């Protein structure tokens, strides 16, 4: 379980990870689905909150030459985020766009309680879907 938590946490940061595979593997080994869902959801939500914190802190360095995003790129991202609003964090579960969304939420100083709520809903829904798919497709293979 600890490994699932750590993989889920790391997967939500800018680091690569495969928490869904760990979740499905443990489910196949007979671990309780509700427990797996909770551990993975909490770990992945905390990992995304690390991104939010990094975004809040990164804003201080936006004028440095080494900053990874140009001023124009940051302005485009801010316009996009402001257009779709904080509700875009419900896509925080999605590959490729989820991590940048959480960093952007930090840069734009979304209140912590809203970030936690929206990210937790998104991550919890993703792991519920993974468990549902495991039940539907993996159950015959787990024996």
**Count of residues making up the chain:** 143
Domain count, the chain: 1
Kindly report whether the global pTM for this prediction surpasses the value 0.75.
Answer: yes
- Helix (H) / strand (E) containing 28: helix 19-28
Two tokens, residue 98: 């989820």
What pLDDT does 122 receive? Answer: 97
143 residues of the chain, pLDDT tens digit each: 788 888 888 777 766 568 888 899 999 999 999 999 999 999 999 999 999 999 998 877 878 887 777 888 888 888 888 888 899 999 999 888 888 899 989 988 999 999 999 999 999 999 999 999 999 998 888 86
Domain membership of residue 60 as a residue range: 1-139
């Amino acid at each position: 379980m600890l490994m699932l938590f750590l993989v889920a946490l790391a997967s939500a940061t800018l680091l690569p990870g495969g928490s869904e595979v760990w979740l499905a593997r443990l489910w196949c080994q007979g671990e309780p689905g509700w427990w797996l869902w909770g551990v993975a959801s909490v770990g992945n939500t905390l990992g995304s909150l690390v991104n939010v914190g990094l975004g809040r802190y990164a804003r201080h360095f936006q004028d440095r030459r080494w900053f990874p995003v140009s001023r124009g790129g940051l302005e485009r991202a801010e316009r996009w985020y402001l257009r779709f609003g904080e509700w875009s964090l419900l896509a925080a579960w999605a590959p490729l766009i989820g991590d940048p969304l959480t960093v952007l939420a930090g840069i734009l100083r979304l209140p912590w309680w809203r970030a936690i709520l929206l990210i937790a809903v998104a991550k919890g829904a993703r792991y519920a879907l993974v468990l549902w798919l495991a039940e539907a497709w993996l159950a015959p293979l787990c024996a």
